[in-house]
């Protein structure tokens, strides 16, 4: 395990999970990425909040968005940005909360009654302090949020394309066409009289 420390971190597509790491009386975060791991001197929730802000939102806004899409639930998964979803293993305000990127989870199995072995897309297995049942529920909730979100985007795209490709059979101006012709004839007559 790497104990290299970096000063700042923004969640990205390579982020697998963010786990609390105890350094004396302080709580830092251990970040696992596809090809690296390191320590960041902030709590996991602080990293999640900073990442939401980096991607032009707020943590509160992301939570409200999730509640709007899948209902007001405890331990709501969130979209850090439109294609990147994470779920908390417990209440996000608890010090032992780990954040998991569901898209990188290949499989999981029970480790103990209170922990789960999860294998990620880098073929590494990590023990996460949450029961396998709770882990499975959070994966399902996150998949539900992702599907509903993508459905909304697809519906919006479909509506947009229908508006774009909609062509009425006959369009006419609200003014009477004959009025333009009469006006045009008057001008022509007027010009001819002058010459």
Averages of pLDDT over runs of 10 residues in the chain (195 residues) are 88 97 93 97 98 96 95 95 94 96 98 97 97 97 95 85 63 56 52 51
Q: Give the other-Cβ count within 10 Å of 77's Cβ.
A: 25
Classify residue 29: in a domain, yes or no.
Answer: yes
Do the domain assignments include residue 5? no
Any domain includes 176: no
Q: Are 116 and 127 in contact (CB under 8 A)?
A: yes
Residue 192's pLDDT is 52
pTM, full prediction:
0.80
Q: Give the Cα-Cα-Cα angle 174, 180, 185 (nearest 5 degrees).
A: 170
User: How many structural domains is the chain composed of?
Assistant: 1
Is position 101 within any domain?
Answer: yes
């Amino acid at each position: 395990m790497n104990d290299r420390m970096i000063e700042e971190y923004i969640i990205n597509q390579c982020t697998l999970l963010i786990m609390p790491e105890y350094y004396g009386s302080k709580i830092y975060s251990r970040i696992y990425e596809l090809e690296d791991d390191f320590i960041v001197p902030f709590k996991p929730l602080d990293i999640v909040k900073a990442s939401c802000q980096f991607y032009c939102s707020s943590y509160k806004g992301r939570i409200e968005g999730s509640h709007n899409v899948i209902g007001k639930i405890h331990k709501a998964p969130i979209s850090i940005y439109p294609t990147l979803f994470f779920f908390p293993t417990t209440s996000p305000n608890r010090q032992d909360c780990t954040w998991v990127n569901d898209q990188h989870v290949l499989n999981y199995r029970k480790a103990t009654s209170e922990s789960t072995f999860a294998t990620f897309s880098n073929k590494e297995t990590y023990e996460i302090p949450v029961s396998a049942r709770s882990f499975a529920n959070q994966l399902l909730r996150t998949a539900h949020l992702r599907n509903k979100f993508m459905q909304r985007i697809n519906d919006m795209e479909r509506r947009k394309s229908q508006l774009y490709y909609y062509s009425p059979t006959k369009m006419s101006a609200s003014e009477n066409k004959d009025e333009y012709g009469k006006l045009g004839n008057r001008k022509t007559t007027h010009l001819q009289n002058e010459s």
